[in-house]
């Protein structure tokens, strides 16, 4: 019931964005501005909020295990993204967009609320460690993958990598590990800004859906097969794999939510800002978000988490 309620809330906000586009409150330029706010302000604030003034302390072996596990999850997802290239017989121009959709789920504002509501504050702290590699990767590997759609070649552009998202990741890790107490006023500001991520992101998704015909999207074979693999096959295989390492149930639950959440709205925003396949990314975000109402409880049931 908690999972379904959370999904209903996010869907309702998405519909607000949909209606705003239909009644011309949001236009193309407005959508780009909102995306910029999320990518450069709200999402970095969300990263910072995960490490500020945490009461629960994770030390020693548990800390090492979580760090290794977070890296393991993204290594697993990146490896699976290359397998999808063969499974879906993708065009070369689609590699980057599908790869980014495979790796980056909606953990920030869908995964975190679900973990907190269902598994508690300790699990939420565990989940915050996944934010660091997630954001480092999305602002490096993710951007580079999107740019490949435009046939841009060459090495990594370091000036692009060292951006506000990566700075927020490094600062968050420093604050948590050094146990620095942040003034309450600063914490409140960060929390207010981080609160923008969910509504603005979902409104952008709803806006992108305004021009889509849901029936046609569902009937688009490649997107549908990808969504089923992303939402059901990957999380089940991932959880069963990590079970082999004897992880406790709370850590497995965090992994399950991280893997089972739908494609992150950040992927569509990156596609828009870095000239990737925005329509394809938006379809992936929209369809997996709609499916997640059913698939997350289903994966939880099938994996026994």
* Domain count within the chain: 1
Q: Please report whether residue 277 resides in a domain.
A: yes
Residue 35 lies in a domain: no
Q: 51 burial class (0-12, 13-18, 19+ CB within 10 angstroms)?
A: buried
Q: For residue 29, is it within any domain?
A: no
- Rounded-to-integer distance, Cα 239 and Cα 253, Å: 9
Structural domain that includes position 215: 2-19+42-303
Q: Is residue 208 part of a domain?
A: yes
Cα 185 to the center of its chain, rounded Å: 28
* Letter string b/e over residues 76-115, b meaning 16 or more CB atoms within 10 A of that residue's CB: bbeebbeebbeebebeeebbbbbbbbbbbbbbbbbbbbbb
Which residues of the chain, if any, have pLDDT below 70?
1-2, 55-60, 109, 121, 148-162, 216, 275
Distances (CA, A) of 35 to 65, 144, 246, 268, 270: 34, 18, 40, 9, 8
Q: Assign residue 277 a region: left if phi > 0, alpha if psi is -120 to 50, beta otherwise?
A: beta
Find out whether 98 and 81 touch, Cβ atoms under 8 Å: yes
Instruction: Say if 102 falls within a structural domain.
Output: yes
Q: Domain of 218: which CATH number?
A: 1.20.1530.20
Residue 158 lies in a domain: yes
Task: Give pLDDT tens digits for 1-55.
Answer: 667 777 778 788 888 998 999 999 998 888 889 888 987 898 888 878 877 877 6
**Residue 91 zone, left/alpha/beta (φ > 0; ψ -120 to 50; rest):** beta
Q: What is the pLDDT of residue 21?
A: 92
In a domain, 26, yes or no: no
* Dist CA 229 CA 237 (whole Å): 10
> Is there a domain that residue 226 lies in?
yes
> What's the pLDDT score for residue 256?
92
Which DSSP category does 182 fall into?
Answer: P
Closest CA to 113 of 207, 230, 199: 199
């Amino acid at each position: 019931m908690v999972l379904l309620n959370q999904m209903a809330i996010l869907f309702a906000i998405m519909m607000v964005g949909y209606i705003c586009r239909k009644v011309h409150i949001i236009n193309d330029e407005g959508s780009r501005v909102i995306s910029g706010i999320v990518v450069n302000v709200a999402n970095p604030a969300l990263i910072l909020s995960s490490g500020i003034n945490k009461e629960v302390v994770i030390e020693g072996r548990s800390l090492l295990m979580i760090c290794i596990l977070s890296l393991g999850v993204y290594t697993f997802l990146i490896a699976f993204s290359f397998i999808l290239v063969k499974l879906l017989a993708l065009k070369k121009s689609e590699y980057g967009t599908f790869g980014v959709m495979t790796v980056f789920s909606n953990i920030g504002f869908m995964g975190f609320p679900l973990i907190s509501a269902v598994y508690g504050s300790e699990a939420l702290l565990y989940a915050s460690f996944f934010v660091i590699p997630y954001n480092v990767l999305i602002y490096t590997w993710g951007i580079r993958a999107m740019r490949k759609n435009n046939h841009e070649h060459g090495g990594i552009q370091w000036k692009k990598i060292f951006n506000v998202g990566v700075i927020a990741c490094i600062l968050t890790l420093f604050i948590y590990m050094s146990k620095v107490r942040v003034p309450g006023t600063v914490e409140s500001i960060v929390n207010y800004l981080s609160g923008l991520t969910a509504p603005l992101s979902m409104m952008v998704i709803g806006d992108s859906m305004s021009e889509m015909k849901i029936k046609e999207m569902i009937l688009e074979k490649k997107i549908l097969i990808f969504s089923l693999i992303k939402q059901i096959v990957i999380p089940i295989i991932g959880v069963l794999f990590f079970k082999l390492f004897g992880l406790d149930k709370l850590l497995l639950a965090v992994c399950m939510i991280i893997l089972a959440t739908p494609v992150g709205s950040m992927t569509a925003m990156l596609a828009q800002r870095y000239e990737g396949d925005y329509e394809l990314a938006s379809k992936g975000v929209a369809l997996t978000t709609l499916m997640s109402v059913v698939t997350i409880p289903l994966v939880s049931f099938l994996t026994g988490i």
